[in-house]
Structure 1
Amino acid sequence: MNKYRSIIVFFLAFAAMSFAPQQASAPGDKIQWMRWEEAVAHIEQQDKKVLLNIYTDWCTWCKRMDTITFNSEPIATYINSSFYPVRLNAERRSSIEYQGKTFEFVEDGKRGYHQFAAELLRGRMSFPSVVFMDENGEVIQSIVGYKSPEEFERILTYFAEDYYKETPWSAFKRNYASKLIKKD
């Protein structure tokens, strides 16, 4: 009887977790992900940029970026110290209020999309995508596709340390020497 009770408890717990509201950070995440609403409150302090990780639940490359790139210790530490990190599901069903506008989920075929994700990505819905916003909450640039920790380090540094304001990406990339990731 105890065996069946354990199985029933397991399935009930699994079912409860499946319908629980999505958390910004999951156990084991090295990045202290925020909800969008939390980041907006911090943007008003104007002391850090925002990094938005735009993903979908079905995206294999999004999961790979979460597992490999975002859970790389030096990358996670740098993101936590330099940005307000936000995870945004591009198929989120609840509305988002930002800069006097309300963004909603749009039914479109089997899945649909969130208007805020479409706005941030300028209609280019590709996943994973990372959007960098300045200290005033204005979009600097979106980066599309999976990036390894080594690639992402360059991108993070380019935006976090304001190189994007005066240095073309091609020059920065050519001259960049890794500060975070040790080569074997």
Structure 2
Amino acid sequence: MGKTKLLIAFIAFGTLVSFQKTTEAPEKEINWMTLEEAIKLQEKEPKKIIMDVYTNWCGPCKMLDKNTFHNEDVVDYVNEHYYAVKFNAEGKDTITYKDKTYTNPKYDASKASRRNSVHQFTRALNVSAYPTMVFFNEEGNYIQAIKGYLKPQKLELYLKLFKTDKYKEMTTQEKFNEYYKNFEPTFKE
């Protein structure tokens, strides 16, 4: 009799745990799209673009995606104020930007999960490190590239700098340093 009660309790507990997992709110996601989609959307609703330039083999790129791009504050801010683009810097996609088409003619499908040939668009953006966040204005024009893994509060600094157009005031390193020193993050880490 004791084993039966234990078995029933175990099944009931398992059902409860299973029910809890299915009723949890799904994790928020950034609304990623292609560059072409983002530029098309700018015609109807102008917003700046943030482009995550990554590679499949890059450890810091994976950390950025997991720790920063899944942070609730980052997700909410990016989805509200930006069009978000993911771009594989060594991928095979064809990109059309400013009436020019970029490809990766030396792409090797057998190297899809490791170092591959660098995409022409990656070179056009002068991206030389991964990850890199590239910011574009509301007309799709290049603003700036920010290299490296950024925690949520560090990315917040740049998201707000470009969103508010304060970057236009950063004519010297001293002015940026002053902005950086006075910036008060609100995103949770």
Q: TM-score range by the shorter chain?
A: 0.7 to 0.9
Deviation at 1:107, TM superposition (A): 1.8
Match of 1:119 in 2: 124
Q: Is 2:137 the counterpart of 1:137? A: no
| Cα shift readout 1:60-100 (whole Å, capped 9, x = no counterpart) | 10000000011110011101111000000111213111211
Structure whose residues are more often helix by fraction: 2
Question: Which amino acid letter does the alignment assign opposite residue 161 of structure 2?
Answer: Y
Deviation at 1:29, TM superposition (A): 5.7
Question: Which amino acid letter does the alignment assign opposite residue 105 of structure 1?
Answer: N
Deviation at 1:108, TM superposition (A): 7.5
**Alignment of structure 1 residues 27-42 onto 2, 5 Å:** 28=27, 30-42=29-41
8 Å Cα contact 2:90-2:107 kept in structure 1: no
Match of 2:13 in 1: none
Q: What is the rounded CA distance, in whole Å, between the counterparts of 2:131 and 2:144 in structure 1?
A: 14
Which of 70-79 and 92-101 deviates more?
Answer: 92-101
8 Å Cα contact 1:130-1:143 kept in structure 2: yes
Aligned equivalent of 2:184, options 164, 177, 184: 177
Instruction: Find the structure with the greater CA-based Rg.
Output: 2
**Alignment of structure 1 residues 10-49 onto 2, 5 Å:** 28=27, 30-45=29-44, 47-49=46-48
Query: What secondary structure sits across from 1:113 in the alignment?
Result: coil
Q: Which runs of 5+ in 1 are unaligned?
A: 1-26
Q: What is the rounded CA distance, in whole Å, between the counterparts of 2:28 and 2:87 in structure 1?
A: 15
Q: What is the rounded CA distance, in whole Å, between the counterparts of 2:87 and 2:61 in structure 1?
A: 12
Query: What secondary structure sits across from 1:93 in the alignment?
Result: coil
The percentage of counterpart residues that share the same residue type is: 35
Question: Which amino acid letter does the alignment assign opposite residue 175 of structure 1?
Answer: N
Which of 148-157 and 162-171 deviates more?
Answer: 162-171
Q: Which runs of 5+ in 2 are unaligned?
A: 1-25, 109-114
Match of 2:157 in 1: 154
8 Å Cα contact 2:92-2:103 kept in structure 1: yes
Match of 1:6 in 2: none
Q: Aligned residues, how many? A: 154
8 Å Cα contact 1:65-1:147 kept in structure 2: yes
Question: Which amino acid letter does the alignment assign opposite residue 181 of structure 1?
Answer: K
Deviation at 1:152, TM superposition (A): 1.0
Match of 2:63 in 1: 64
Task: Indicate the RMSD between aligned Cα atoms, in angstroms.
Answer: 2.0
| Cα shift readout 1:103-154 (whole Å, capped 9, x = no counterpart) | 010427961011112212x2x4210000000011111100000011121111
Query: What secondary structure sits across from 2:122 in the alignment?
Result: helix
TM-score computed with the length of structure 2 as normaliser? 0.75
8 Å Cα contact 1:46-1:136 kept in structure 2: no
8 Å Cα contact 1:106-1:113 kept in structure 2: no
